[in-house]
Amino acid sequence: MNLKFVNPVTKPSRITYDSLSALARQGLGKSRISPAEAAEVRAAIERHKQRQSAREQAPRDPLAEKGRWLHRMKERLQDEMWRILCRYYRLPYSRWVEKAGTELEIKFGNPAVDASQYTVWHYRKPWKGTELWLTITVLFNWRSSVLAAGLADAGGLLTLSAQQVAEDAWQAAWLVQGRGYDFRIESGYIVRCADGTYAHARTLQHARAIADKRAKAWAERIQAEERKRAEAQAQARLRELRDQLASMTREQIADAFGDVPISVQDSTRAGNCPTGTRQWCERWAAGRTSGTVRDVIETGAPLDEHLLRALAVAIARAR
């Protein structure tokens, strides 16, 4: 109703004209209500009837009923956790014993785990296996606090709870497997490293130290790959330049690169033997260890593979 009450009123037990008109008289402080106010009461009753009719005609949602939605949520959590358990943890399995395997149950509450294992036998043969009953308890908001944050299988461990304490850090609890099928819960901190991995530790300082160490190793690995890539590109350019020199005459090389300086260091950088380089200098350059490309061409030495590589290195360095 759109009436402005001046006195406090109590909620009516039934939505009828008598009950709502009595509520209006109480709120307005009147013994009788006017025709306009009575029309407002009747309009409020009609709106209530329309809402009730629309609610009854609405399609029935099974998940909205008590218990159904919770059961469906448990099934989804169980599927997600089963995938993580099968990928990162040891679970019993047997091709011959039918009852051997793992039964997983999910509960809501403080993070906990309960594991019970039994020896089962083949119904005819003397073959035995292990039957594991695993009960994992997680917080009710596991999907929003853990799964949505990408921490469900952080670092290859099943995260049971996570509370963000920094942009890249969470206070969390995770599932750890010991010897055999012994499971336990560990609590501490998870830090996301620069390389995309996650570091687990009991304290935030220790977790950050692990993350910093991984970040340093990751940066060094990237630098090494960049150096290797640069060296490969440089080698490709040298091969291309060497092929270009091999297709040119002596006069063309002298005209194009005659003023480029060259030394015995260029020959050794090209992979030539230092002793062979010195011997070449004694035979063709009268013992000189440096000069220009034109000086090398004018010696009359044959343009073999070793000389072409040395010329390519010198020209590439000058460029």
User: What pLDDT is recorded for position 182?
Assistant: 92
Using CB atoms within 10 A of its CB, is residue 77 exposed (0-12), middle (13-18) or buried (19+)? buried
Q: What is the pLDDT of residue 159?
A: 95
pLDDT greater than 60 at residue 99: yes
Q: 0.85 exceeded by the pTM?
A: no
Judge whether residue 27 has pLDDT over 80: no
pLDDT at 153: 93
Please give the average per-residue pLDDT across 51-73, as a whole number.
66
Mean pLDDT of 234-241: 88
Residues 70-99 have a mean pLDDT of: 86
* pLDDT at position 65 over 60: no
Q: How far apart are CA 85 and CA 308, in angstroms?
A: 61
Question: What SS3 state is found at 154?
Answer: helix
Residue found under tokens 């010195």: 278
Q: What integer pLDDT is reported at residue 61 of this predicted model? A: 47
Q: How far apart are CA 206 and CA 209, in angstroms?
A: 5
The single-letter DSSP state of residue 15 is: -
Banded model confidence at residue 59, pLDDT cuts 50, 70, 90: low
Q: What is the mean pLDDT of residues 279-302?
A: 86
| 128: Cα within 13 Å, side-chain hemisphere | 5
The model's pLDDT over 101-129, given as tens digits with 9 standing for 90+, comes to 889 998 888 999 999 988 888 888 888 88
Confidence of residue 266 (pLDDT cuts 50, 70, 90): confident
Output the pLDDT for position 63.
Answer: 44
- Express as a percent the part of the chain with pLDDT over 90: 28
Three-class SS state of 261: strand
- Comparing CA positions, the residue from 200, 202, 176, 198 lying closest to residue 188 is 202
Secondary structure string (H, E, C) spanning 90-149 = CCCCCCCCCCCEEEEEEEECCCEEEEEEEEEECCCCCCEEEEEEEEEEECCCHHHHHHCC
167 pLDDT more than 70: yes
> What are the residue boundaries of the structural domains of the chain, listed by start?
17-57, 68-192, 248-318
**Listed range (64-78, 127-141, 157-171, 259-273) with the worst mean pLDDT:** 64-78
What's the chain's average pLDDT?
A: 86
